[in-house]
Structure formats: structure tokens, C-alpha cells
Structure 1
Amino acid sequence: MGTVFFAVAATALTALSLHGLLVRPRLTADPRGLRIRTTTGKHDLHWPEVTARVRTTRRFGRDSATLEIEAGDQLFVFGWLELGADPRDVLDTLTALQP
């Protein structure tokens, strides 16, 4: 039973590691707009169609911030792990790039 549990855990860890390597960077921005990479492909968004905000929630006694980017009927949610920086700082950077 221990061998089966170890094999399942190792497979899950390998899959998560590969996903993290293949999809990075998840979010890039320039004066024209945003490019978001997901497992289904790349999404190029222009600034007029983008709404970005930071949502803060409290879980297990800790505040957690996520960056939400809305474009039409699509919603992309990024945490600290996907961004590599605090979502508040990323929102400030995106606001500065937006014309």
C-alpha cells in the first residue's frame, strides 16, 4: 500500500512541476496589452478590453491576495505563485503600462 501511495504522490508532483515549467511566464504585459498563457494556449488581450483588480480574502487567519483579470466573458486569476511577486505590485505595474 505504501508503494502505491508513493507512486501516486510522485506522479502528481511530476505533473505539477511540468505544468509550472511549461506554462511560465503566465502573464506578460507591454504598452499594447497583455499576453496570458494557459494550458489551452495563449490569449492576447488589448488594454481597452481588460479590467484588472486585486481581491483580498481571509483564509485560515491569513490574508491572501489574488490578481483578477477580466476580459469579456473570461476571468483569469493569478496568485503570488503564478506571478512571482505580490499581486498588488503587479497591478501597480499594469496600471502604469496601461495607456
Structure 2
Amino acid sequence: MAKIAGAVLFGVLATIGDHHQLFLAGVVALGLAVVAMRDLVIPVRLSASADGLVVAGLAGRERISWNDVDRIRVDSRRRYGLTTELLEIEAGDQVHLFSRFDLGSSVFDVADALMKLRP
């Protein structure tokens, strides 16, 4: 809901001001709208079973067997007083990154659950 509210707010701001502000506010509004639509259309970004993982995104769904998963880890970085935590799933040449907003839960809890499911 916050992303939709932000998109509406920046959309309104795009109608006020000069051309530079209009462009910047329009780009931000469009970006927030795309991310909000992704969250509405694809609410489940990652699912796991005994067979493997299913990663969903705007480009579609991808099935990854446990044999193809090379590493599951949590990357935690501190910058500008904020800590960012991402779940990283490496599968061959691909790296899938998920934040707690993508997962709807703590990335540490999801990493633990995936490690328990992984054979």
C-alpha cells in the first residue's frame, strides 16, 4: 500500500513544478507503480519444496532443482547507519536476491527454512 501511495503522491507532484521536477517525479512515480504492480500480480516471489525452488518475477517463473543450487546465504551490509539484509541463492550462473519485503519474513528465518528443506 505504501508503494501505491508513493506512486500517487509522486504522480501528483509530477503535475506541479518545472520540467525537471516533472520528469524526475514522473520517473519515480512510474518506478513505484511498476514495483507495486509486481507485488500485486506476483505476491509469492519464492517458494520451496522437496523438489527444489520456484522463483517468480515479472519475466515469469523459474524452477530450480536442489541439485542446481550452489549456495544459500544471507548478505548483511551496513551503510549510512542502515543495515541491509538480502537472501542470496546462487544457482549456476544466476544469483537470485530477495529482501525481507520480497519474502514477507526475516531473511534469516527463510534461509534457515531453506537449509532444512535442502537435501
What is the TM-score normalised by the length of structure 1? Answer: 0.86
SS at match of 2:105: coil
Residue aligning to 1:96: 116
SS at match of 2:15: helix
Structural RMSD (CA): 2.1
**Does residue 33 of structure 1 match 2:52?**
yes
Residue-pair matches, total: 99
Residue aligning to 1:49: 68
Q: CA deviation at 1:23?
A: 2.2
Structure 1 or 2: more strand by fraction: 1
Residue aligning to 1:72: 92
Q: CA deviation at 1:11?
A: 4.1
In the alignment, structure 1 segments of 5+ residues that lack a partner are none
Q: After superposition, give the CA deviation of every residue in 1:1-58 in whole Å (9 maximum; x if it has no partner).
A: 85154x8255443322111111220000011100000111111011111121111101
- Rg larger in structure: 2
Q: Distance between the aligned counterparts of 1:21 and 1:2, measured in 2?
A: 24
Aligned partner letter, 1:39:
L
Tell me which stretches of 4 or more aligned residues in structure 1 moved more than 3 Å: 9-13
Structure 1 or 2: more helix by fraction: 2
Change (3 A) 1:59 1:2: same
Higher relative contact order (CA 8 A, sep 6+): 1
Once the two structures are aligned, what percentage of the paired residues are identical? 36
